[in-house]
């Protein structure tokens, strides 16, 4: 019987651990996006339900509801539902505040920090009824033409009920 190549075994083990580690941190990287990059995301052309939550690290109601969005993301994994957490913290706080916040809470949803530039006219492009207060959430689906905006914080039950309604699924 041939002895296994120890070097090869260690190499395979290392690669496996590296892939597992990268996978487990997949949602922890925060991307800084400008309006030019962000606004087209609000016009999807597919049949996925996008749940776009606007929040900030300094917003207590926002932080309180983040676990609800994370739970929805996990429950609907593998289905056509995608949670996107859009931080409205200042762009210069990305490395010192937002990234550590996301890592500490092990957020797995896609997280981005929106750098809208000066002025708040972009808020009307998200929804004309939005006062600019957070938390706020936009539900969009390109194929069903769904565009539902909610300027409020959610309990898990409220959020889950809306997602079930918008997907036509029952958990």
Q: What is the pLDDT of residue 3?
A: 53
User: What CATH code is carried by the domain that includes residue 38?
Assistant: 3.40.30.10
* Nearest Cα residue to 140 out of 40, 58, 60, 64: 40
> Is 63 within the bounds of a domain?
yes
CB 72 within 8 A of CB 52: no
Identify the band that residue 1 occupies on the pLDDT scale cut at 50, 70 and 90.
low
Reference 67, options 154, 167, 170, 169; nearest CA is 154
Confidence (pLDDT) at 7: 40
**Is 2 domain-assigned?**
no
Structure tokens at 123: 């808020």
- Residue 57's closest CA among 91, 97, 27? 97
* Mean pLDDT for the stretch of residues 98-105: 96
Name which of 20-29, 41-50, 60-69, 109-118 the model is least confident about.
20-29
pLDDT in tens, 132-148: 999 999 999 999 999 99
In a domain, 12, yes or no: no
Give the residue with greater pLDDT, 134 vs 169.
134
Tell whether 61 is covered by a domain: yes
The predicted pLDDT at position 120 comes to: 84
Instruction: Evaluate if residue 98 carries a pLDDT over 80.
Output: yes
Q: Is position 51 within any domain? A: yes
Task: Answer whether residue 98 is part of any domain.
Answer: yes
The rounded distance, in Å, linking the Cα atoms of 31 and 86 is: 10
| pLDDT above 80: residue 115 | yes
Whether the predicted pLDDT of 38 surpasses 60: yes
Query: Which residue would you say has higher pLDDT here, 154 or 15?
Result: 154
Q: Within a domain: residue 154? A: yes
Q: Which domain holds residue 131?
A: 28-167
Domain count, the chain: 1
Q: Let me know if residue 134 belongs to a domain.
A: yes
Cα gap 47→69, rounded to integer Å: 20
Contact 77, 109 (CB under 8 A): no
* Ramachandran bin of 145, using left for φ above 0, alpha for ψ from -120 to 50, beta for the remaining angles: left
For residue 79, is it left (φ>0), alpha (ψ between -120 and 50) or beta? beta
53: confidence class by pLDDT, cuts 50, 70, 90: very high
In the 8-state DSSP scheme, what is residue 152?
Answer: S
Kindly tell me if the per-residue pLDDT of 117 is higher than 90. Answer: no
């Amino acid at each position: 019987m041939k002895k296994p190549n120890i070097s090869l075994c260690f190499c395979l083990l290392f690669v496996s651990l590296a892939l597992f580690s990268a996978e487990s941190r997949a949602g922890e990287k925060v991307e800084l996006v400008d309006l030019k990059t962000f606004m087209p995301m609000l016009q999807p052309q597919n049949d996925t339900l996008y749940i776009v939550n606007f929040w900030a690290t300094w917003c207590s109601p926002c932080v309180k509801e983040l676990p609800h969005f994370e739970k929805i993301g996990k429950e609907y994994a593998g289905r056509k539902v995608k949670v996107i957490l859009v931080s409205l913290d200042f762009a210069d706080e990305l490395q010192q505040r937002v990234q550590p916040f996301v890592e500490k809470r092990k957020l797995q949803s896609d997280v981005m920090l929106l750098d809208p530039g000066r002025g708040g006219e972009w808020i009307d492009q998200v929804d004309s009824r939005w006062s600019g207060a957070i938390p706020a959430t936009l539900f969009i689906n390109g194929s069903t033409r769904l565009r539902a905006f909610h300027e409020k914080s959610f309990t898990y039950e409220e959020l889950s009920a809306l997602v079930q309604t918008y997907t036509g699924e029952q958990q």
